[in-house]
Amino acid sequence: MKTIKVDNVVIQCVQGDITKQPDVEAIVNAANAYLKPGGGVAGAIHRAAGPELEKECSKYAPIKVGEAVITKAYNLPNKYVIHCLGPRYGIDKPEDKLLADCYINAIKLAEENKITSIAFPAISTGIFGYPIEDATKVVLKTVFTLVKRITYLKIIRFVLFSEQDYIVYCKYLDELGGSYYEK
């Protein structure tokens, strides 16, 4: 795990599975518009949460690109799931703004619900095809900017499934974290 501190917020990146983060209050789903199980992150989250999650999700579907909605987490070891619909690379434009909107809206929902810790997967970088390096730069710049306005969140964790993606996140955390860096 790599950790930096920006203002009062701890920003972490870890290699792992988003469904196995029991020490965070909310996890974020890289959802599809209909908030159905599907593959990738959404499949793993619905499998671990159980069928009640799909039932609650059906009340909010469909969602728009960049939008976020919050549900309970059922059998997951967390309190909430925040579902975001990322842009499909090359289709939903402008991709960078829509990807940033996912993180902005998820953090807004977290703050509204007084959530103190949240874990994000690398939204849009799987089936939706967003190149990991470009996505990482957009995400970290967005989050570093938001951190100044955060009240409740104390931990923001990025969970990367593959070692390659984890290495990319670590590289940009160092580069973009810049002067904020505190071990």
19 is an interface residue for ligand ADP by CB under 6 A: yes
Exactly one of 26, 70, 123, 176 binds ligand ADP (CB under 6 A); which one? 123
Written as six digits, the tokens of 86 are 């990322």
13 is an interface residue for ligand ADP by CB under 6 A: no
136 is an interface residue for ligand ADP by CB under 6 A: no
Written as six digits, the tokens of 15 are 């290699």
71 is an interface residue for ligand ADP by CB under 6 A: no
Binding mask 85-114 for ligand ADP (x = CB under 6 A): -x----------------------------
| Residue with smaller CB distance to ligand ADP, 18 or 100 | 18
Report the C-alpha gap between 20 and 143 in whole angstroms.
Answer: 22
Cβ contacts of 46 within 8 Å, gap of 6 or more: 36, 37, 38, 53, 54
C-alpha distances in angstroms, 5 versus 80, 111, 155, 179?
A: 24, 18, 9, 10
The SS3 assignment for 109 reads: helix
Residues in binding contact with ligand ADP, number by CB under 6 A = 21
Written as six digits, the tokens of 46 are 């619905």
| Residue with smaller CB distance to ligand ADP, 123 or 156 | 123
Q: Which residues bind ligand ADP (CB under 6 A)?
A: 17-19, 30, 40-42, 44, 86, 121-128, 159, 161-162, 165
